[in-house]
Each structure stands twice: as structure tokens, then as C-alpha cells.
Amino acid sequence: LFHNLQELRHSASLANKVFIQRDYSEGTTCKFQTKFPSELESRIERTLFEDTVKTLNNYYAEAEKIGGQSYLEGCLACATAYLIFLCMETRYEKVLKKIAKYIQEQNEKIYAPRGLLITDPIERGMRVIEISIYEDRGSSGSSSGSSSVSGSTAR
């Protein structure tokens, strides 16, 4: 269908959005439900979707892990009256960067070719994984719309 993200944004229209909710069964740690939503049944293979969500869950678990390294970071920060965060990035922030890269990669390789787009959960308050479903835009009457869209998209 679509060969890259640019093509997706310029020639398709937004049909629907699916929201993958948080899974709180293990407490307040960040984890998303791996249940396959019915709206995606015709668009993507179940295993690919589950892989994406499971990998994201693993990344979040790594960010929130309480262990030797996080204690070290916490004690060091306390000893410097938390001033160390002015020059150092927290472990959580490092993992979030990895996640952003992963999501972009997944979008480019797997989701955009199928007319889907994943929004990074951090942009939705870590509440949901928003997956936008695009439909191929019909050719009649919409060419002016799409050209103005591409004109005003400031990337």
C-alpha cells in the first residue's frame, strides 16, 4: 500500500484510532495490554502487534527497574542535593530515547506499509498506545486538500 511515512501522511486520510490501554495487574509499573484489538484484525498480523507491545513493555520495565544501578543513581543524586540531574540524564530518560527510536523504526518498517501509525505513549501521558488507522484517500475532490496538508505541515 504505502511505501513510507511521508506518503502515508500525504495521501491517506485518518479513518480510526485504536487505543491500547494500560495493564495494571502488576501494580503501577508501566505495562500495556497485549490483547489484539479487533479493529486491527484485517490490517496487521497478530504476532507482529504482540511483539511490538511486548518489546515496549520490556523497555518500560527496564526503565523502572529497582536494582543496583537505580540505587546508585538515587544515592549519588541525593548526595549532590539532586544537582547532578542538571548535567546528567536519568536512566529513565535514556530508555525513553531508545523507545522513541524503536517506535520510529517499527513505524517505518512494519506499520506504515500497512497504513498504520503508532504514537509514542509519552505523548499521551503514558496512558495509551495510540494507533492511527489510515485509509487510502479517494482520488476525487481531495487533491486540493492533500496538497494544502503537505504545504502546511512544518516538519
Partner 1 sequence: MRECEYSQISTRSSTPMETPYKKRTPKKRKWETFPGRNKFYCDGRIMMAKQTGVFYLTLVLILVTCGLFFTFDCPYLALHLTPVIPVIGGVLFLFVLGTLLRTSFSDPGVLPRATPDEAADLERQIDVANGSTGYRPPPRTKEVVINGQTVKLKYCFTCKIFRPPRASHCSLCDNCVERFDHHCPWVGNCVGRRNYRFFYMFILSLSFLTIFIFAFVITHIILRSHRNGFLTALKDSPARYPFTAQPWLVVCFFSVWSIVGLSGFHTYLISSNQTTNEDIKGSWSSKRGKDNYNPYSYGNIFTNCCAALCGPLPPSLIDRRGFIESDAPQLAPPANGITMYGATQSQQSHMVSLYTVS
Choices 46-54, 79-87, 99-107, 108-116 (CB under 8 A): range interacting with partner 1: 79-87
Distance, C-alpha 2 to centroid of its chain: 19
Q: Is 26 exposed, middle or buried (0-12, 13-18, 19+ CB in 10 A)?
A: exposed
Count of residues near partner 1 by CB under 8 A = 51
Contact stretch for partner 1 (CB under 8 A) within 43-51, 106-114, 124-132: 124-132
Q: Could you tell me if residue 147 is left (phi over 0), alpha (psi between -120 and 50 degrees) or otherwise beta?
A: alpha
Report d(CA 57, CA 64) in Å as an integer.
11
Looking at the Cβ atoms of 47 and 155, the one nearer to partner 1 is 155
The dihedral formed by the CA atoms of 64, 69, 71 and 76, expressed in degrees to the nearest 10: -120
Q: Write out the binding residues for partner 1, residues 9-28 only, by CB under 8 A.
A: 13-17, 19, 22, 24-28
The per-type count for the chain, helices as H runs and strands as E runs, is 5, 3
Stretch that binds partner 1, among 43-51, 102-110, 138-146 (CB under 8 A): 138-146
Which residues contribute to the site for partner 1 (CB under 8 A)? Answer: 13-17, 19, 22, 24-28, 63-66, 70-71, 73-75, 77-78, 81-83, 85, 90-93, 96, 122-128, 130, 132, 135, 142, 144-145, 148-149, 151-154
